[in-house]
Amino acid sequence: MSGELVELTATAAAERVRVGELDPRELFEAYRERAAADHLNAFTWVADATPATVASDGPLGGVPVAVKDLFCTRGVPSQAGSRILEGYRPPYTATVVAKLARAGAPLLGKTNQDEFAMGSSNENSGFGPVLNPWDRGRVPGGSSGGSAAAVAAGLAPWAIGTDTGGSIRQPAALCGIVGLKPTYGACSRYGMIAFASSLDQAGPLTRDVTDAALLLRHMVGHDPCDATSVEFPGEIATPRAEHLRGIRLGVPEELTTAGAGVEPGVRDSFEATLALAEALGAVVEPCRLPHAPHALSAYYLIAPAEASANLARFDGVRYGLRVDGDADLISMYSRTRAAGFGAEVKRRIMLGTYALSSGYYDAYYGTAQKVRTKISEDFKAAFERFDFIVTPTSPWTAFELGAKADDPLAMYLNDFCTVPMPLAGIPAISIPSGLAGGLPVGLQLTGPAFSESRLLDTAYALERAIGFDGRPARR
């Protein structure tokens, strides 16, 4: 029975709960057992019991949600994948998580992630790497690797993660599921342990586009506790498009060709999907995003710079790890941070501090923010001719654990196709477009700010046409 239960999409399960056909506690327990038996290291914490009551009348139908470790969950460990916060239990809950709970999605567990959301393979976690359910010798992508693996392996009906440079979309692509990064400001960041404040956004990781829309609908909204959040115009609609007539899709050569580093298998899947789109009635044409090749450089200046400041609060004074508290103050700071942060985090703090430092600000951070302006302008111009822009999500499929561990720059290239969108603050979704060498390939669609409903609709139509039903072998 529980085997069937976990086959249901979240939407279907919620519907059954709401009409009384399914006991939400039974659903919760089914997932809780699976999550607790997790062999992918996808979870850092799982609820140790099913709640006494699970509301069944909310729009999310009591369907439990897995939440990335960096969302503050009151009284429950919230570690952002870092040893410096090992065991930290915050006194408050992130707004987005609270909203979902109120809408009827109780907390199933906290998922593993790259430390402080820095990474695209989930090998940077302080609590061990997450394994890809499609091939446990491979990475699930990152930084929301735990959330993606959990959903792909049926350990959670749906999950939320965060996306700064691709951290929802890329793991969704590598795990064969749906992941969406909303417009900047659409979801509250209050309670999200910050990586890069001007880029971070919370978003859904789900089995299909319908589930993503349902979850997103209850995540968006202005929060008085977040000055950068805005009221989402209108409601996120339920996707239902069956064709793409009248839709113009732009294909930027800067992000889609072999010259851009896209692997042949991914390229083939991408081309096949474009053909499907045309068959559905879409007009598919090349477009230009002239500054997209520089997006990675801008991103790897802006994000680490903001992160270097956001992570300064981890100093052993008020919470978290403290090392050598009996030494002098500066030594305590320096040794605490050295012991608590992993190598990638240190790298980015160093990079960010350097980019902001006296004499270098203009050349690095200052220049990067100008490149960002150009990237935004490129998208604006493109969206005058096209409804959406389409690219592969990741230039390659899931690589082997350890394959890029020694080469940070090679690792950063994972984000090539996904970083331009957060720089412009626009939404983007990844859906599975097929397999290459037996591993999932993701297709990315991006649209103008606040175009989520139409974006989801278009993704839905493509999803139907693609008919991806691949599942990693279940254990």
Partner 1 sequence: MLDRDQVLHVARLARLELTNDEVERLAAELSKVLDHIEKISELDLSGVPATSHVLDVVGALRADEPMPCLSPEAALASAPEPLEGGFGVPSPAT
Partner 2 sequence: MSDDKRYEPVIGLEIHVQLRTRTKMFCGCPLSFGDPPNVHTCPVCLGLPGSLPVVNARAVHFGVMIGLALGSEIAERSLFHRKNYFYPDLPKGYQISQYDVPLCRGGRLGEVRIHRVHLEEDAAKLNHLGESGRIHGADRSWVDFNRGGTPLVEIVTEPDIHSPEQAREWLTLLRTTLRTLGVSDVDMSQGSLRCDANVSIRPTGSGELGTKTELKNMNSFRFLEKGVRAEIERQVGLLESGEPVVQETLHFDPTLGRLTPLRSKEEAHDYRYFPEPDLVPLLVTEELRAGAAAEIPELPAERAGRFERELGLSPDRARDFAFRAELGDYFEQALAEAAAAVAGDGARGANGAPGAVDPVELANWIPQLVERIGSETDPADSKVAPSSLATLAAMVKAKEVSREAARDVLTRLVREGGDPRAVVQREGLGALSGEHQLVEVVDRAIASDPAAAEQLRTGNMKAIGPLVGYVMRETKGRADGKEVARLIRERVNTRS
372 binds, among partner 2, partner 1, none (CB under 5 to 8 A by kind): partner 1
Which listed residue (58, 191, 304, 420) binds partner 2 by CB under 8 A? 191
With H, G, I as helix, E, B as strand and everything else as coil, classify residue 25: helix
| CA 452/CA 9 separation, integer angstroms | 21
Residue number, 315 or 452, with CB nearest to partner 2? 315
The answer to the question of residue 327 lying near partner 1 (CB under 8 A) is yes
Residue number, 189 or 374, with CB nearest to partner 2? 189
Least distance in Å: CB of 311 to partner 2? 8
| CA 361/CA 253 separation, integer angstroms | 31
Residue number, 113 or 397, with CB nearest to partner 2? 113
Of the candidate spans 234-242, 351-359, 428-436, 442-450, the one that interacts with partner 2 by CB under 8 A turns out to be 351-359
143 classed as catalytic: yes
Site track for partner 2 across 360-389, x = CB under 8 A:
-x---x------------------------
302-331 positions binding partner 2, by CB under 8 A: 305-306, 308-309, 311-315, 317-319, 329-330
- DSSP-assigned letter for residue 120: S
The answer to the question of residue 19 lying near partner 1 (CB under 8 A) is no
Site track for partner 1 across 352-391, x = CB under 8 A:
-xx--x-----xx-xxxxxxxxx-x---------------
Helix-helix angle 295-310:367-385, to 10 degrees: 130
Site track for partner 2 across 223-242, x = CB under 8 A:
-xxxxx--------------
Q: Dig out the tokens for 160 from the structure.
A: 């939320």
User: Angle CA(415)–CA(367)–CA(200) in degrees, nearest 5?
Assistant: 40
What amino acid is encoded at 209 in this protein?
V
Residue number, 80 or 439, with CB nearest to partner 2? 80
201, 449 Cβ separation under 8 angstroms? no
| CA 381/CA 210 separation, integer angstroms | 30
| CA 252/CA 126 separation, integer angstroms | 37
Q: Dig out the tokens for 13 from the structure.
A: 């399960």
With H, G, I as helix, E, B as strand and everything else as coil, classify residue 46: strand
Residue 31: burial class (beta carbons within 10 Å; 0-12, 13-18, 19+): buried
Q: E strands along 253-404, which residues? A: 283-287, 388-392
Number of C-beta neighbours around residue 294 at 10 A: 18
With H, G, I as helix, E, B as strand and everything else as coil, classify residue 92: coil
Active-site pick, 78, 143, 229, 433: 143
334 classed as catalytic: no
Q: Dig out the tokens for 320 from the structure.
A: 């978290």
Least distance in Å: CB of 308 to partner 2? 8
Q: Under 8 Å CB-to-CB from 358, ≥6 apart: which residues?
A: none
Site track for partner 1 across 294-313, x = CB under 8 A:
x--xx-xx------x---x-
167 classed as catalytic: yes
User: Angle CA(386)–CA(144)–CA(109) in degrees, nearest 5?
Assistant: 130
Q: Which helix (H) or strand (E) holds 266?
A: helix 264-279
Q: Under 8 Å CB-to-CB from 204, ≥6 apart: which residues?
A: 158, 159, 160, 168, 178, 179, 180, 211, 212, 215, 216, 219
Active-site pick, 167, 269, 394, 453: 167
197 binds, among partner 1, partner 2, none (CB under 5 to 8 A by kind): partner 2
404-443 positions binding partner 1, by CB under 8 A: 408-409, 412, 423-425
Query: What residues line the site for partner 1 (CB under 8 A)?
Result: 88-89, 91, 184-185, 198, 224, 227-228, 230, 291, 294, 297-298, 300-301, 308, 312, 315-320, 322, 325-335, 337-338, 341, 346-347, 349-351, 353-354, 357, 363-364, 366-374, 376, 408-409, 412, 423-425
Query: What residues line the site for partner 2 (CB under 8 A)?
Result: 70-72, 78, 80, 85, 88, 90-92, 94, 189-194, 196-198, 224-228, 305-306, 308-309, 311-315, 317-319, 329-330, 333, 353, 356-358, 361, 365
Residues known to be catalytic: 68, 143, 167
